[in-house]
């Protein structure tokens, strides 16, 4: 389902409106404002509102009256400097608000990022839709033998079919029991006129973490970058990573100079410990460095060699 018919009508009405303002606006972000960007099988993200842009970062850094300089190259240089030296406060001067529809287990990972304002759909007040997440075949994988919180080989054949069957069967049964406890059918009527339904706040506890929830998530640009640095990383769980990747596109539209600096210095860069830096210097000098004489723990040494595209 993704977006409900009521939400679609609201979106069309909002996008039909225009407002004159003296605030800074970003045409590239205005183009997709309110529009849902599909994620997973039933999820989406959409930008609801924003305040500020790259100019707000520059303005705050210089504590100036204007919106930066007349030269984009100078603004880019300053933003690169701020990103490179981890001067975070200027990035806190811009904010963005998303409407997100996501599986509950993804929401439980996401909420660990506590530097945002969140308001979630209330299953005490409303009835959850019959929408649950089923992974695509290429994302149904066994437990990794080397990583306790990662995936290994993709399941195939009868084994994959059996797991898909369990996932769908369990979710469908859980929702059927949810409706039975509420004593409500899909049309909102009573299943049994002679029976009271269980309170919504109790009936919801029978649903699995694969069902979808929704929330509004508002954060500043600095904390958005921190979220993306962790959740758009290749090591993040796939189901939250695809949300982060969709949000990266909105960041590129909203604050392209900040996006460029972020991709260069954060997503495309690496951090080194003092011992790691010493290893790099020795390698540049032509020395052969092994893990045993590097002074680094095995895991850090392997990660450093992988970042440098060298055999560990």
Residue spans per domain, the chain: 5-127+210-267, 138-206, 274-307
Classify domain 5-127+210-267 at the CATH class level: alpha beta
Residue of 200, 204, 231, 253 with catalytic role: 231
180-218 pLDDT, tens digit each = 999 988 888 888 888 999 999 999 999 999 999 999 999
Q: Give residue 186's Cα distance to chain centre.
A: 31
Q: Is 231 a catalytic residue?
A: yes
Residue 222 to residue 220: CA distance in whole angstroms: 6
Copy the structure tokens of residue 236: 């993040």
Q: Are 150 and 144 within 8 A, CB to CB?
A: yes
Q: Are 51 and 59 within 8 A, CB to CB?
A: no
Taking Cα atoms as reference points, which of 210, 105, 204, 212 lies closest to residue 168?
A: 210
Residue 202 to residue 63: CA distance in whole angstroms: 52
Taking Cα atoms as reference points, which of 170, 180, 235 lies closest to residue 208?
A: 170
Which pLDDT belongs to residue 230? 96
254-264 pLDDT, tens digit each = 999 999 999 99
Q: Give every CB contact of residue 152 below 8 A, 6+ residues apart in sequence.
A: 141, 142, 143, 144, 145
**In the predicted model, what is the mean pLDDT of the chain?**
92
pLDDT above 80 (res 286): yes
Which pLDDT belongs to residue 187? 81
pLDDT above 60 (res 82): yes
Asked whether the whole model's pTM tops 0.85, one would answer yes
Residue 167 to residue 134: CA distance in whole angstroms: 7
Using alpha carbons only, how large is the chain's radius of gyration in Å? Answer: 24
Taking Cα atoms as reference points, which of 159, 172, 164 lies closest to residue 136?
A: 164
């Amino acid at each position: 389902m993704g977006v409900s018919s009521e939400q679609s009508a609201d979106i069309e009405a909002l996008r039909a409106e225009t407002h004159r303002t003296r605030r800074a606006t970003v045409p590239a972000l205005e183009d997709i404002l309110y529009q849902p960007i599909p994620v997973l099988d039933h999820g989406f993200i959409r930008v609801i509102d924003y305040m500020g842009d790259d100019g707000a970062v520059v303005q705050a850094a210089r504590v100036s009256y204007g919106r930066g300089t007349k030269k984009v190259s100078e603004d880019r240089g300053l933003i690169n400097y701020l990103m490179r030296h981890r001067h975070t406060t200027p990035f806190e001067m811009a904010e963005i608000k998303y409407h997100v529809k996501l599986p509950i287990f993804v929401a439980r990972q996401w909420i660990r990022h506590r530097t945002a304002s969140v308001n979630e759909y209330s299953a005490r007040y409303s009835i959850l839709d019959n929408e649950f997440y089923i992974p695509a075949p290429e994302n149904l994988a066994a437990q990794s033998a080397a990583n306790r919180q990662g995936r290994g080989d993709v399941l195939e054949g009868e084994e994959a079919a059996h797991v898909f069957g369990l996932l769908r069967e369990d979710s469908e049964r859980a929702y059927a029991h949810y409706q039975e406890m509420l004593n409500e059918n899909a049309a909102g009527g009573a299943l049994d006129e002679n029976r009271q339904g269980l309170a919504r706040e109790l009936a919801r506890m029978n649903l699995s973490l694969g069902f979808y929830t929704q929330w509004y998530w508002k954060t500043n640009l600095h904390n958005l970058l921190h979220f993306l640095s962790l959740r758009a990383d290749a090591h993040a769980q796939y189901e939250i990573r695809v949300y982060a990747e969709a949000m990266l596109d909105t960041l590129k539209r909203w604050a392209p100079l900040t996006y460029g600096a972020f991709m260069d210095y954060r997503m495309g860069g690496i951090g080194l410990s003092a011992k790691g830096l010493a290893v790099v210097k020795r390698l540049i000098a032509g020395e052969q460095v092994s893990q045993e004489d590097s002074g680094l723990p095995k895991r850090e040494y392997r990660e450093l060699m992988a970042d440098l595209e060298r055999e560990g």
